[in-house]
Structures are given as structure tokens and as C-alpha cells.
Chain A
């Protein structure tokens, strides 16, 4: 589903975000990208939805080579990828319903289909009863669930989450992670970049750890720190 081959990314200011990264993510899997801030987690996600282009290497998403994709083809690629951010990126003057519908409307979906798909997405994230509220009237967790509904409403094959729980308290964090797990169970490939150790250690999913733009380790059913359970005393 996702494949990176010898990918490096150097920003114009000389910062090396990724350094010769090889990574393969199977269809339907759930993967944590972990590491400190500035180790290239966000950059890696950005390569997948072609917000950034690699300086070297090849990027494949759903068998499409992304790094050489023509500009005109990018919208089609992005309709296959849902993206969720730490700061939700909701439109404050639109209601929950309108925020979710927006993703369909601006991609030219027929109204009939919008009316059918939006309730389904809101139902999935459990916000059907708040569809007429504005983001400012919602809790952080609810705002993030709105953002997830927006990311998923077009039925993408992949969901990318960049620090989805970074702005949330522990109970909302749990709620969001359970939601992501449910989404994954329905067959969507989910990639979560996070530095929330508790979340990673509790879920016991595949963990890819980045450090200084390189993959430090890659474990099935891994921990945030290799070989250390959640109970261990951590050097910080």
C-alpha cells in the first residue's frame, strides 16, 4: 500500500528531514511512526500525500509513484488519502456537518451522495447528534473526531494522522485512538505519527521509530522504546 525506497528529503534551508529511508506498509495495517519532534515523522507523511517531494528516492502509494506524479494528478491521489492533524484544521464558520460535507463538495460530489455519505461518517465518529454545532462549541476530542470524519467521508484507503492526540487530554486521547482502531478494523490503512509513549505502548501495534531522519527500529507489536514496556523507567 505504501512503499518508500531510499528516500531522502532535504529542505531548502539545508535541514535534512529524512535520510535514505526504506519503508513498506501493508494494506490494512496500523502503524505508529514515533520519535522526538523534528525527526522527520511529519515530513514522511507529507511525502505520502505529496505535500513535499523527496530529494532522492521513490515514493509509492497504492501502486502509484507519487514523487513523479504530474501536478494535475495530485487531487486524485489525495482523494484516496485522509489526513488528520494535531490542530484539527476545521473551518470555524462552518458547522460539523458543513465541515465534513466540505471535503465532498469541493471535490465535485453530487448532492445526493453528499446527503448519504456525511451522516455515515458522522455516525462512525459518533457525532451525529452534534452535526449542527460549530467547532468552537465542541470539546477538543469532538473537534478531532469531526476532522477524522472529514478525512474519512470520501472513503479513502489510507488515513494519515499527524500527532492526532497532541492537543487532547488523556481521556479524549483514548477515545480517539479507539476510533482509529475501529477505522482500521474496517480495512483502512492507518498511519499515526506521535510522540505519545503511553498510547503507543498500550496499543502494541507496529512501531517505526525515526531518529535524525533515519529508521532506528521497526517492530511488529512494538513499544515506543525498543525492549521497554510501559512500566519501565525511561531515560528522558
Chain B
């Protein structure tokens, strides 16, 4: 690479960039706002997803057996369950064990002295390999003549995930709109720079510079605005994470806030650069064709 050429190019970009400092700040700010929202959204989505799939994978189907089903017959059922490819595990909890566990969970306040007999049925705890198949597996098990009833907590979780999905779509639409507005601001900024540099552009065209060459500094400038905006946004997000997440984590102890931060940062920078590139490409192209 010819260092002199590189220096000339970078000099032109910098001169462009500083010429419309005010406009550039607006552009960078708009990109930053967009990307802060995008980042927060992606962060939240990843957290909800991790949380949701975590919960779902832990869902147990409680299979309550009919009263007359003794331990031997129950073992037969267990073998049948274990053979099904959708089932990850099936553990047998006889009624005595069930009562013991209940006492252990509920503690000393749970008084069993009044019970004349154990009211709990023999139970299987079944885990499905795929959280999505839980309803099917539960329905299949319920058909067995030895089974009184199956139960699982999936309804709640599935509602949660569905809500998260809808919110996700709304979020994507919102971010798309914001990206478009950021692109428009950048494109206007570039158009101002193009206008400020119309003499240079005219001379470049006159002496035989290619359109691609003329375009490059403006593209670089747009990308610079996009990347700087993304950088500002990442700073804001990092600060927010530092301030807010510990408090949230204290309140919502069951939610894990684990997000791949490096990937997220790179994604956001890429989005900023892409918005800048597309916006400036379009606005310079329009000028060169005219």
C-alpha cells in the first residue's frame, strides 16, 4: 500500500468529517439512540430466551397413577416410558417418598399427624428431551390405562415465551423504523457534505476521477458516523448494564443475566457501519448521477 495515497485519502475523509461537525453530531446521536435501543432489546431478548429455555428444559410432567396400580405394575409403565425416544428421564416416586418430599419442602408447619392414610398417589416424574414436545408427551402418557392424570407447568412458561415472541416482533419493527430514521439523518448529513464539496467533486470529475473514487471518502465518512454512533451507544449500554443489572439480578434472583457481550458489541458496531454505508452510498450516488 502506498502510504502517501492512504494519507491523502484519510486527510480528505477527516476534512469532510470536520466540515459539518454540527450535522455529524446529530447523525452520530441519532445512530447512538437507535443502537442503544437495539442493544437493550437484544440484551433483553437473549435474557428472556435463556431464562425461558432454561425453565422449559426443567419442566417435569407429573404422572399420577391410579389407586390400584402397585409398584410392580408401575415399574412396567416406567419401562414403557423410558423406551420412548421423546422421554429424557422417568423417575418413580412412590407415595411414601412423595409424602417425605412434601414434608421436606413445606417444613415443620406441615402437620401429618391428622392423616389416617397417605393421600398421595404413586407418581412418575417425566422429563421430555425437547421442551416443545411436553404437551404431546403428557397427552400420550395420559392415555395409558394405569395413569389417572398428567400435569405440567408448561402453560405458564409457554405463555411467557409467546409474549416474549410478540414483544420481540414489535421490538424489531421499532428498531427497523429507528434504523431508517438514522439512515435518513446520515444521508442528509452526507448530502450537506457533498454540497459543501461540490467544487471538489466537479474538479475530480473533470480530471478523470472515477465515480467509485469520488464516492469513497463520503462512504467512509458515513461509516465513521455510524461506527462512532454505535460506539457511543455501546458506552451507554455498558454503563446501564453496570448500574442496572446488579439491581435487577437482586430482585429477580431466578433470572440469569448472562449475555455474550463481545458478540453483542460487534453486532452493534456492524449495524452502525451498515446504516452509515447504505445511507451515504445512496445520497452520494444520487449526486453523481445528476
Q: Which of A72, A103, A108 contacts B5 (CB 8 A)?
A: A108
What is the interface residue range for chain B against chain A?
A: 10 to 19
Contact, CB under 8 Å: A105 / B199: no
CB-CB contacts of B203-241 with A at 8 A, as 1s and 0s?
111111111011000000000000000000000000000
A107 close to B (CB within 8 Å): yes
Q: Which residues of B contact A72 (CB under 8 A)?
A: 210
Q: Which residue of B lies closest to A109 (CB)?
A: B5
**How far, in whole Å, are A72 and B209 apart by their CA atoms in the complex?**
11
Contact, CB under 8 Å: A111 / B207: no
CB-CB contacts of A39-50 with B at 8 A, as 1s and 0s?
000000000010
**How far, in whole Å, are A114 and B3 apart by their CA atoms in the complex?**
13
CB-CB contacts of A143-155 with B at 8 A, as 1s and 0s?
0000000110010
Q: Which residue of B lies closest to A75 (CB)?
A: B208
B181-221: which residues lie under 8 A (CB-CB) from chain A?
199-200, 202-211, 213-214
Q: Which residue of A lies closest to B203 (CB)?
A: A89
Contact, CB under 8 Å: B203 / A91: yes
B1-36: which residues lie under 8 A (CB-CB) from chain A?
2-5, 8
**How far, in whole Å, are A102 and B5 apart by their CA atoms in the complex?**
11
CB-CB contacts of A105-120 with B at 8 A, as 1s and 0s?
1111011101000000
Q: Which residues of B contact A103 (CB under 8 A)?
A: 203, 207
Contact, CB under 8 Å: A107 / B208: yes
**How far, in whole Å, are A72 and B211 apart by their CA atoms in the complex?**
8
**How far, in whole Å, are A117 and B24 apart by their CA atoms in the complex?**
37
A61-80: which residues lie under 8 A (CB-CB) from chain B?
72, 74-80
A83 close to B (CB within 8 Å): yes
Known: A89-B202, A91-B199, A106-B204. A111 touches B209 (CB 8 A): no
Q: CB within 8 Å of A: which residues of B?
A: 2-5, 8, 199-200, 202-211, 213-214
Q: A49-B206, A83-B206, A150-B207 are in contact. List 6 more A-B contacts (CB 8 A).
A: A72-B210, A75-B211, A80-B208, A91-B200, A106-B207, A107-B213
Closest 10 CB pairs of A and B: A111-B4, A78-B208, A79-B208, A106-B209, A103-B207, A75-B208, A106-B204, A75-B210, A105-B8, A111-B2
